[in-house]
Structure 1
Amino acid sequence: MRPHRPLLALAPLLLVLGLLTAAPTAPAVAKPDPDWVFYTADTTRYTSPWFAGKHRIMIPFGCTRAPYYSPDPRCEDERGFHHGIDVAMGCGTKLRTRFWARVVSNDALGPAYGSSPVVLRNRKRGWDVVIGHTRKVLVREGDTLTPGTFFARASDDAAPDGCHLHFEKRTVGGGLSTATWPRPLLRLQAAS
């Protein structure tokens, strides 16, 4: 049986319409959290393999004017020292691993990290990463995570300045005093 000629003439138009309606739509932009406070002049939005979307840094690593930290001798003007990077993002933003990692105990962390912070260890690379202010944690101590594993969401749990994630890089099994600049681990890239 031969196709009807008028239907053949409409085939390209139907194909284009089908492609247009099937095209993915741009993701909705998260509404800014009214509690966000930024303690940096950096207004760049960054992407990372660790989280979805493009987000600003709230508190960078190092000396800060953020009021939550005790004066530190490394800092001028009675400033405190922030041992990680806080990245502002909407509550519920998905968090994924960048490397193989094992979930280890968070018992040594205080309440400032929230009620369910995640500590990931990669012995081969020589680090622990502490991630504070997480919710809906989908992993347990002892789990081994592969790169790209969705394991938690961002929240404002114990965060006085709105929804965000706190990333801290420490030596394996090390305490707060072993924290180092976490930016290379996060692979933050300025969004275009």
Structure 2
Amino acid sequence: MRRLGALIIAVLLVLGLAPAAGAGGDPRWVFYTKDKTRYTSPWFHGGHRIMIPFGCTSAPYYSPDPRCSDGRGFHHGLDIAMECGTPLYARFRARVVSNDSLGSAYGVNPVLLRNRKRHFDLVIGHTEKVYVREGQVVRAGTMFARANDSGAPDGCHLHFEQRAVGGGLSTAVWPRKLLDLTPRRR
């Protein structure tokens, strides 16, 4: 029976249907993109895949949106799959502002960073431990939180949502440039 199990795992690995040994993949991850690129960013270490891209998506958590065809919903950020506990670092100096306006979809303790000079608010959802508090200034390079699955039915990841300073959900824009996502070189 062990040999059969090992054979099945080997076949899945060869076909690319299971995470490679040591990849630490979360079995709950579901990817709503064909992009299999692993991206690096100054915001986190390692190379990670996008689970749900910004914009129209077939992910089932979003109500149909008139901007999207076929009854698809609109995702206002980028969800990036990463292991629980992955450290999160500030790319820029920013102030931690109140997360009271954010709903439960972002988890129990989302982080809202504001940088007036660069004209952004950054919502980071599904954090585990948060090492900063409201009013605190976070300097570039400072580790301020860790990834988790809080409020996320599809495993550990972080949700990054760029908004206008003081703006709501309707001001969300594509956050890829702010995150400085770069394809990981092998």
What TM-score comes out, normalization by structure 2 length? 0.87
**CA separation in 1, counterparts of 2:22 and 2:99?**
32
Aligned to 1:42: 35
**CA separation in 2, counterparts of 1:82 and 1:117?**
17
Percent identity, aligned pairs only? 72
8 Å Cα contact 1:30-1:90 kept in structure 2: no
Letter of the structure 1 residue corresponding to residue 117 of structure 2:
K
Matching residue within 119, 124, 138 for 1:131: 124
Say what the alpha-carbon RMSD is for the aligned residues: 0.9
- Equivalence map 1:178-189=2 (5 Å): 178-189=171-182
What TM-score comes out, normalization by structure 1 length? 0.85
Letter of the structure 1 residue corresponding to residue 147 of structure 2:
A
- Equivalence map 1:170-181=2 (5 Å): 170-181=163-174
Q: Tell me the alpha carbon deviations over residues 57-90 of structure 1, each in whole angstroms, 9 at most, x when there is no partner.
A: 0000000000000000000000000000000000
| Structure ID, larger Rg | 1
Aligned to 1:55: 48
User: How far is 1:29 from its partner?
Assistant: 4.2
Question: Residue 74 in 1 paired to residue 83 in 2?
Answer: no
Letter of the structure 1 residue corresponding to residue 127 of structure 2:
T
**Equivalent residues, number:** 165
Unaligned runs of 5+ in 1: 1-27
**CA separation in 1, counterparts of 2:174 and 2:131?**
27
8 Å Cα contact 1:85-1:182 kept in structure 2: yes
- Equivalence map 1:90-101=2 (5 Å): 90-101=83-94
Unaligned runs of 5+ in 2: 1-20
Moved over 4 A (4+): none
